[in-house]
Amino acid sequence: MSSPKIKKQERSFWGRTSGFRKQSSILRVLLRIGIVAGFLVTAFPSFALEKDPPVNLQADRLYWMGSSVIGQGNAQLEYKDVQLKAEEIVVNLDSLDLTAGEEVNLQIGNRRLRGKDLRYNLKSEAGTIRSPRWQEGLLFYKAEKARFSSEMVDLKRVDFTSCDFSLPHYKMRAGTVKVYPGDKIIMKSVTLYLGSIPIFWTPYLIQYLNKKNRVMLPSPGYSDFSGWYVQTGYYFYSSARFQGRLHLDYREKKGWGEGVDVFYESKQAEGEIKTYYVKEADTGEERWILRLRHRQSLSKSTDLKVRLDRLSDKNFLDDYFGEGYKTSYLYLGHRRAGYNVGVLAEPSVNLEFERGVIERLPQIRQNLEPQRLGRSGLYLGQAAEVTNFRKEDKNIVRADSFLDFSYPFTAFKYLRLRPKLGYHLFRYWYTQDNEKEEGYRSIPYQELNLLFKIAGKFGNYSHILNPSLSYYHSSEIKNDFQLPFSLGDHAKNSHSANLLKLDLRSYLYHRKRKLISGKVSLDYDLTKKKERFSPLEGKFYLTPLLPYLNHLYLYLLYHPYAKEYKKIESDLSLKGKIWNLTLGLRKYTDDRVTDFITRGGIKFGKNQITASVRYDLEGKKIREEVYSFQRDLHCWAVRLFLKNKYGAKLEKEYWIMFYIKAFPHHWIKFHPELEELEYR
């Protein structure tokens, strides 16, 4: 550390960690040195430990007491990333223990906190402090006591809130909190208070800092499927690597539902097991699910992933959790520089409703990144795959691989070209009419990509134009074979027979700000005898340097043979200091939709009003209208919402919502029409 700062103080001493002397000895030495030494002592009023790293202690008064030095009056200490201010600081020069009484101001790295009676060891970087108070982000924290080190912070009786009033509108209180920096925060015995009134309690609450959090809170509500319901449970914590959750839910129409979730992790693996069971009161049907998610790191380059969903019926997830069904699989992947290999098994595990599903048992795939051949400009691309498809009692084995060569180069400084020649081969083995059959497809293909880049600068303005033209051609050779079943989405027909693609991109900048970006694309199919052009697609985004004009967006899809726009989407966005307004048009010819959309809002003081109206230009009627009013209540906010949707019948939705601004995704909402209360 650099030399102590120059600061006039009443008294000061200078010493080293080796050869410490008592105060009387140092005074005799100082008297013998004389006037020059006195000047130096006055100019550098601090105590520095000269070992690496050094400790710098400054104060109005410094005293010796055995092997300790005491700084009193505006005492300041610096060591590594530790900065401490207090009225009195005592440092033991042998053990490097320090104490600071009464009010202290401590900074370790980027964290700043205040408290009382600090006990800290500069070597082990561990200590304790009473009544710590600090702020992180929008939240204010205070605790009864804290024990901290570089690996963990252990807090006792903690209050935290985003309200900076002396008597906050709300607060969360936890019996103990353990903070693992960069990983997670584990809170025990957590209570939510509105003012001084407790309204909710949970035994455990875990906040992950670098992955999705799992929070279990009571959730009442209403749906046509369940009727009135309340979802709740018990969240238990065994260790930092093993937690669980017990479900206990009640649905008016379906009765009781229960389940157990287990979450686990280790240095090489993580996963979860979820179960849920309900015997429906209205149907008497037993419905259930068993879910497994597991990820195992076998090495730095090899991973194993497992997903298993075992259900009573296909609609269970949608009915009870609002999720879609996904097939189960096991995947083993290996990645190295330049290539990757994967083995996939996708079996049918729900025979009750997965009949007719195409299984992959297994699929083995190898990908090679394009490799440059020696010092030439030629690149080699390659991939291979073997898959055993099974559908009920029938099997198809398909092996396919491709090999291509490309030679990218630049001509005339502005023209980039990439010619490519490739060959794709498919082989099939299957059984048809109790006889073993074989089939093959071979597809030679060629590609030529031309990309221009034209750039110019005119004062503060710069323009970039990127036109590109691509040509694709392929032909197919195959024997006469008929597969026992269609491969559906697993079929591969990725090579265009004879196609030209034109793409034009343009950008205009004012200094570094993008003013205009545009893209126009068009295909020309050489295999057709007529109507060879595809619909013309254009997309434009403008942010001009004009007052109140935020942006202009335009999307067009024009059919050249029908001579009409199949799609038109446009938005004109205006914005002021306290208001915003967007005017839009949506025209979809195939769906017979032509709508004019108006959205806007205004903010005055702590109030904000927003509105949105969708008007049918053809039917000359309003399709949908939405109105919202929001009031800022310091750390809280309240929002009133009204939505009318006009169709075959009028659909209304209206509610009032309260939420803490520091946690906008967690709210309490009340629907007066249904008398429904929600919490998220």
pLDDT of the residue at 644: 86
Look at residue 508 and tell me if it is in a domain.
no
pLDDT digits (tens, 9 = 90+) for 507-525: 999 988 899 999 999 999 9
pLDDT digits (tens, 9 = 90+) for 66-108: 888 889 999 999 888 888 999 999 998 888 899 998 899 988 8
Question: Is the four-CA dihedral 589, 592, 594, 597 of positive or negative sign?
Answer: negative
DSSP state of 490: G
How far is Cα 110 from Cα 388, in angstroms, rounded to an integer? Answer: 56
Range of the domain at 637: 592-680
Look at residue 586 and tell me if it is in a domain.
no
Question: Is the four-CA dihedral 165, 168, 174, 180 of positive or negative sign?
Answer: negative
3-state SS class at 383: strand
Q: Which residues contact 627 (CB under 8 A, 6 or more apart)?
A: 609, 610, 611, 641, 642, 643
pLDDT digits (tens, 9 = 90+) for 614-654: 999 988 999 999 999 998 877 777 888 888 888 877 777 77
Phi, psi (rounded to 5 degrees) for 479: -90, 175
The pTM for the full model equals 0.62
Look at residue 447 and tell me if it is in a domain.
no
Look at residue 569 and tell me if it is in a domain.
no
Phi, psi (rounded to 5 degrees) for 41: -65, -40
Look up residue 522 and give its two tokens. 């068009």
- Return the axis-axis angle of helices 35-43 and 23-33, rounded to nearest 10°: 120
pLDDT digits (tens, 9 = 90+) for 377-431: 999 999 999 999 999 889 999 999 999 999 999 988 889 999 999 999 999 999 9
Amino acid letter for position 602: I
Look at residue 636 and tell me if it is in a domain.
yes
Q: Is the pLDDT of residue 206 over 80?
A: no
Q: How confident is the model at residue 207 (pLDDT cuts 50, 70, 90)?
A: low
Look at residue 651 and tell me if it is in a domain.
yes
Q: Is the pLDDT of residue 221 over 70?
A: no
Look up residue 56 and give its two tokens. 């710098």
Number of domains in the chain: 1
Q: How confident is the model at residue 210 (pLDDT cuts 50, 70, 90)?
A: low
Average pLDDT across the chain, whole number:
83
Strands (DSSP E) found in 240-350: 242-251, 255-265, 269-279, 286-297, 302-311, 329-336, 339-346
Look at residue 609 and tell me if it is in a domain.
yes
Look at residue 100 and tell me if it is in a domain.
no
pLDDT of the residue at 137: 61
